[in-house]
Amino acid sequence: MRSARACLASLLGSGGMIVLLIVLTAAGTALVQPRFFNALNIINILRNAAILSVASMGQMLVMVAGGFDLSVGVIVALASVQTALLSGIIAGWMPDAPILALILATLLTMVTGALIGSVNGAFVSVFRLSPFMVTLAMSSVVMGVTFYVTKGIPIYGLPDAFMNGIGRGMIGRCPVVVVIAVAIVAAVIILQRATTLGRHIYAVGSSPHAARVSGVRVRPLLIGVYAVSGAAAAIAGILLTARIGSGQSTLGGTLALETIAASVVGGVSLLGGTGRAERVMLGALFLSLVANALNLLRIDSKYQTLVLGVVLIAAVCIESLSGVRRRHD
């Protein structure tokens, strides 16, 4: 028993488990449905995984710092709507420079995401409210705004360059979306491994009190981490909008669940203090593979949420049973 547990712990610890899961899922799907290895299908999976990875980076940082962010899904929807609306409005002001208008629109959208995140962070760190409840309530607020503005109707009229350049664009044989996601993940890896700020995030997640005593400014740090999560969700929303070509208020419905699941599958502890960007990216790849497998096997897309729920609970159970989880109380 003990050796089985130790074995499981070492697998989880090294990240081997997630690689194994990815290989098994890919092999299993390819056996049943040979179209799996079709180049188009692989690119499709990579694009989905890329967008999920970007949003998951924010979720992971928040979880490492000991919190949760349930508002990532609604920020994706807001970002989609905001990019589409703003790029139209700004393009009206500067008809000669549509690309510049688009860049301004996406930057403003990212700022909005960061602002919503920092409000979450302020409630969590300054007023010490439950991160789960604050971000859940914030979701209700943001969703109310998004639907009130759009009445649920998609917003068209985005410049073609946006879709062709980013959403469907390729650099050589690699989708632009994937390049952007890899760059963001690389930046987060550097943040986590090579900067004081990154180590402080781990410290705050492991023990806020110890971190404070040793001179970490916990409040600004937490506000910043939630702001990054909001901005990451906004970027994911922009990338998703570039893929589908319109602003949609219904995007991101299960994204909070997906990013938490990607993080937990990637070895992030629910108690904070542990988690690595590269493994969370693998977690996102695994979830995208599973979704793709369900599609190829022609299983009703509604069952994907069921599978997500099961994967989340199973991953947390495995983490809990393998003893990787540490107790703080």
Partner 1 sequence: MPIRLRSLPLAPLLTAIPAFVVLFGFGMVAPDVLTTGNLWNIATQTSYLAIFTLGQTIVLLTAGLDLSIGMAVSYTSVVAALALVNVAAPGLAILAYLAAGVGLGLVIGAVNGFFVAIVGINPFIVTLGTYNILFALSSTVTGGFPVSDFPPLTSQILVDASVLAIPIPIVISAIVMAVVGFLLRRTVFGRSLYLIGSNPSMATAAGIRVRLHTLGAYLLCSGLGTFGGLLLSARAGSGEPNIGGSLALQTVAAAVIGGARLRGGKGGVLSALLGAFFITVLSNGMNLARIDGYIQQLCIGAIIILALLAEQISQNAERSS
| Contacting partner 1 within 166-185 (CB under 8 A) | none
Among 114, 143, 155, 293, binds partner 1 (CB under 8 A): 143
Q: From the CB of residue 227, how many other CB atoms can be counted at a distance below 10 Å?
A: 22
- 162 or 226, CB closer to partner 1? 226
The vertex-62 CA angle with 267 and 103, nearest 5°, equals 115
List C-alpha distances in Å: 137 to 102, 107, 132, 133, 144: 31, 25, 9, 6, 11
Among 10, 20, 254, 328, binds partner 1 (CB under 8 A): 254
With contacts defined by CB under 8 A, how many residues of the chain interact with partner 1?
42
List C-alpha distances in Å: 173 to 162, 169, 239, 273: 19, 10, 18, 37
Q: Could you tell me the smallest distance in angstroms from the CB atom of residue 45 to partner 1?
A: 21
Please tell me whether residue 37 binds partner 1 under the rule CB under 8 A: no
90 to 129: interface string for partner 1, x by CB under 8 A:
---------------------------------x---xxx
Which residues make beta-bridge pairs with 175? Answer: 170
- Give, to the nearest 10 degrees, the angle between helix 218-244 and helix 72-93: 70
290 to 319: interface string for partner 1, x by CB under 8 A:
----------x-xxxxx-xxx-xx--xx--
Among 72, 84, 260, 284, binds partner 1 (CB under 8 A): 260
H/E stretch holding 175: strand 174-175
Number of helices and strands in the chain (H, E): 14, 2
| Contacting partner 1 within 47-76 (CB under 8 A) | 68
Binding site for partner 1 (CB under 8 A): 68, 123, 127-130, 132-134, 136-145, 147-148, 254, 256-257, 260, 264, 270, 300, 302-306, 308-310, 312-313, 316-317, 320-321
